Amino acid sequence: MEVLDYSRSFIAFLSKERANNARIQVEARCELTVDGVAEEYWLVASCKSEDTFAEQNLFLVPNYDFCMIYSRDQFRIHRVPFPYDPAAMDAGPITERYEKADFALKLVDAELCEDNEAAVAATLAGKILIGRTEIWNADKTRRAVIEYPIKTMNAHKDPAYFQVDTGPILLPDFGSERPAIEAFDFAFIAWNVPDWAEFVIQDAVPACPETPAGPQVCHYSKIQVMDARNEIWTHE
């Protein structure tokens, strides 16, 4: 089958304010199916807030983390300032904020690792590893296939076993009533068997545990374990 070639896949937007073409590499994708209707979403790499094309002092102070999710016609900007403010998010039709968005998404043929031995052999041979994790809600009216490059892989040769630990990925919140693009969590994924996966989810937590009502930070801290179907695909 074909998987995304993450090293050569980018989404670029043309901003209306400064006519800036910003090209950002794709980190992960998710095909979300709701009541039989499927739509793809892409997470692009994180960057830091900046004064683009300034002569000096390029990074804004105070600074914040900045990343985006796209569908073919929608966008979401996710900001992580300190203190954390959940309202620091913009979402809507691409055409409302940008002149256009270009999707330079490259696909490549990949081979399924049928067992532990194949996954370990591909890891030790230095091949590119792509993870695919399928999850679903209780009544199976919502399904998601999450695809991601495996950046960190732990492998044991004899006997053959492994553990994936990688991210960030897009994790849909199946219980949310918000529009789909606003209901994704940012997470890292770990798994070492084909039928469940563990996620650590970015969430708001007190900056100081002793003062829970004080300022918050956004931290990968919330653990969730889900039934899943996990696969590893590989290509050169």
**Residue 156: its pLDDT value, please?**
97
pLDDT value of position 199: 98
* Alpha carbon of residue 51 to chain centroid: 25
Which uninterrupted H or E stretch holds 117? helix 116-124
Cβ density class 178-187: b for 16+ within 10 Å, e for less? eebbebbbbb
Inter-residue contact 217 to 204 (CB < 8 Å):
yes
pTM attached to this predicted model: 0.94
As averages over each run of 10 residues, the pLDDT of the chain (236 residues) reads 97 87 97 96 96 94 95 96 87 94 98 98 98 96 97 97 98 94 97 98 88 86 97 96
Reference 133, options 101, 99, 103, 172; nearest CA is 172
